Amino acid sequence: MGELIKIIAEWLWKNFLEPVFKRLNQWDVLFLIILSAVGYFGLQWAKYLNFQEKLLWGSALIAAGFIWFLNRKLPSKHLGKALKRKLPFALVKVSLLLFLGGIWVIAAYLVYRIPPFASGVTGFYIARFADDPYDADQDNIATFIGDVIAEKVLRNVQIKKLARRIKSDDQARKLGGEGRAALVLWGTRLRPRPDLYLTFIENRGTVRPPSDNDKPDEQKLGGSRGFSGNITNFGLPTEIQTLQEVLASFLCGYGYYYSQVPDYEKAIACFGDARNILVENLVKPDDRLTPEMEILGATYFYLGNTYLLKGDLEHAEEQYRNAIEATTPMPLKEPQFIEPLNNLGMILVREKKEPEAIDYLEKAEKLCQTGAWAQNPTCPAVSYNIASAYVGKKQYEIAIARFEHAIEQFNAIARNQPKHELDLRFLESAQQFKVYSYVMIAVHSDKKQRPNRYQEAKQKLDEAIQDLESVTGKSAPYSFDVIRARIYIGDKQWQKAINLLEATKDKLDDQDDKAIAYLLLAAANQCLNNGDKAAEYLNHFYELLRNKPDKHQVDPEYFEYFNKITDDCHTAN
């Protein structure tokens, strides 16, 4: 056998290799050395590649060698004879180079392309893992979760494998955004113990708060009563079976929760399954926050969000408290996540429990001041909710400073976000309620200072509208006309207020704004001694209050304000 191999090798050398090497010059040798070095180091890297990638990059080296020797070793006359046409040799070379390069680019696109999700689908990417060269673990997780989706008949949830290795949350967010995914699973290793993370790409948090086009239940996550945040990333369990089971149940819950036609009861059931699996297997050390504690906290958090969207504030509050407890290591006794603190604070503001709300929100604000959380999109919501709490306490000067801080934080985050991805209702609300605080300072000031205070409020309103329109590029919402009507009434320009509100009231989308518009119309007509008109508008006001789904949120300030305005105007008359 040895003699046979020797004979074959000598024959190959003499008839094929030796003639080739005799024609090589020093540049050819240098090129071969470089190509060999690239190939050698490429083999070290190739252990992270699957078969398609190895074929792709191996073909790139072969094509490079082919193009080099075609250019240097094939005389133009030989090529001309082969083609039997008189073509410029340079044109043939360039055309062949472009053809080979184009073929390779198309192949690379097919290997690394990001498969997009259709609109209305809750998409879940599973990225490749660093120590999974044949993608076996990626396939197993995708199959396991896919079976759960089929079993639970989740029609609006899809899983797709992503032919990329992701090394950071920012990279996951970028790739997930390109493919319109809702979630991305990624990590640096899977065995012997997983080191995986789940990144939320598109959420119902602060940078994209609910807009006027959102469904009514989504409006509960933002607006005049406060803004919610959303967890954007957390670690996952380090035991593979637990990981798969928790991921499947969590994705089931998130699919029902995030769907265009949400089913909150089924979402609660799936999130409950994930919680039960985690609680059963949870080991809570005294000195650190583990991935299991993180996802348990996230599960409680999304249970809270689901109850909040249902309008069940009592159970939402309970779940947010559970989330805070689950993510608070005992020795530190300090919560480690902003989002449940913020959402709990928001609910407490709605429930008129301002001191307790401020306590939780200031803990969230403390986290926002650390480097790791500085750009967290929930931080502007924290400042907004603190400001709302101080409005509830009638400490309007402090509220103004907090609203201004919320606006600064939002603008800082917005500078790093494409404008089309921003829903600017947050900015509109913060500007509106900042000016409202100036108006309320005027309302509660003494008679000598009141005209100057109203003039200051008018100036701040004009500045807020100008700032808002410069950012949004469109006219300020009609709710700002309601604020201006308050100023007119305070300046005793009652007919002017009536004219503005008559033109505006039917254009208001928010029911609270519309109710206030009718209350202001009643007050202005009362001040002009139009008793019948005042009674008519008061009836409209009470009718809107009766139709509110959250009647417990009716603000006593409505009636205090009406009585104060009408008393003042009658005293003046």
The string of DSSP codes covering 436-492 is HHHHHHHHTS-TTTHHHHHHHHHHHHHHHHHHHHHHHSSPPPTHHHHHHHHHHHHTT
| Mean pLDDT on 38-53 | 66
Residue 203: what pLDDT? 47
pLDDT of 232 > 70? The answer is: no
Q: Shortest CA distance to 72 belongs to which of 31, 42, 101?
A: 31
Sorted by where each begins, the domain ranges of the chain are: 19-112, 478-573
How far is it, in rounded angstroms, from Cα 128 to Cα 105?
Answer: 21
* Residue 257 confidence class, pLDDT cut points 50, 70, 90: confident
How far is it, in rounded angstroms, from Cα 211 to Cα 223?
Answer: 9
Beta bridge partners of 122: 157
pLDDT of 17 > 90? The answer is: no
| 514, 476 contact by CB (below 8 A) | no
* Residue 393 confidence class, pLDDT cut points 50, 70, 90: very high
Beta bridge partners of 162: 127
| 382, 357 contact by CB (below 8 A) | no
**Alpha carbon separation from 252 to 31, 128, 245, 270, 451 (Å, rounded):** 55, 22, 11, 6, 58
- Please, which residues have CB within 8 angstroms of residue 323's CB and are 6 or more apart in sequence? 297, 298, 300, 301, 304, 337, 340
Q: How, if at all, do strands 183-189 and 157-165 pair?
A: unpaired
The identity of residue 383, as a single letter, is S
49-64 pLDDT, tens digit each: 666 676 777 777 777 7
> HEC states along 497-530?
HHHHHHHHHHHCCCHHHHHHHHHHHHHHHHHCCC
482: which 2 tokens?
């309601």
Most confidently predicted of 42-51, 81-90, 155-164: 155-164
Element (H, E) at 161: strand 157-165
CB atoms within 10 A of CB 573: 9
Residue 255: what pLDDT? 81
**Alpha carbon separation from 504 to 444, 494, 513 (Å, rounded):** 26, 15, 10
Q: How, if at all, do strands 157-165 and 233-235 pair?
A: unpaired
**Alpha carbon separation from 454 to 228, 492, 558 (Å, rounded):** 32, 11, 19
How far is it, in rounded angstroms, from Cα 118 to Cα 204?
Answer: 19
CB atoms within 10 A of CB 115: 13
| Mean pLDDT on 340-357 | 93
How far is it, in rounded angstroms, from Cα 387 to Cα 194?
Answer: 42
* Residue 493 confidence class, pLDDT cut points 50, 70, 90: very high
The identity of residue 323, as a single letter, is A
* Residue 191 confidence class, pLDDT cut points 50, 70, 90: low
Q: For residue 192, say if its preceding peptide bond is cis, omega within 30 degrees of 0.
A: yes
517: which 2 tokens?
């518009």
The CATH number, out of the four listed (3.90.1200, 1.25.40, 1.10.10, 1.10.287), of the domain defined by the range 478-573: 1.25.40
41: which 2 tokens?
């180091």
**Alpha carbon separation from 217 to 91, 120, 501 (Å, rounded):** 64, 17, 28
Torsion of CA 458, 464, 469, 474, to 10 degrees: -70
Residue 10: what pLDDT? 76
For residue 193, the number of C-alpha atoms closer than 13 Å in the C-beta half-sphere is 7
Q: Shortest CA distance to 545 belongs to which of 521, 518, 506?
A: 518
How far is it, in rounded angstroms, from Cα 364 to Cα 340?
Answer: 9
Element (H, E) at 123: strand 122-128
* Residue 459 confidence class, pLDDT cut points 50, 70, 90: very high
Residue 158: what pLDDT? 84
Cβ-in-10-Å burial (0-12, 13-18, 19+) of 134 comes to: exposed
| Mean pLDDT on 523-536 | 91
**Count of residues making up the chain:** 573
How far is it, in rounded angstroms, from Cα 569 to Cα 566?
Answer: 5
| 341, 335 contact by CB (below 8 A) | yes
How much of the chain is helix, strand and coil, in % rounded to 5? Answer: 70, 5, 25
Main-chain dihedrals φ then ψ at residue 126, nearest 5 degrees: -115, 110
Residue 354: what pLDDT? 94
29: which 2 tokens?
């040798």
Which of 262-266, 435-439, 456-460 comes out lowest in average pLDDT? 262-266
For residue 300, the number of C-alpha atoms closer than 13 Å in the C-beta half-sphere is 24
CA angle (458 as vertex; 462, 208 as ends), nearest 5:
50
Residue 134: what pLDDT? 75
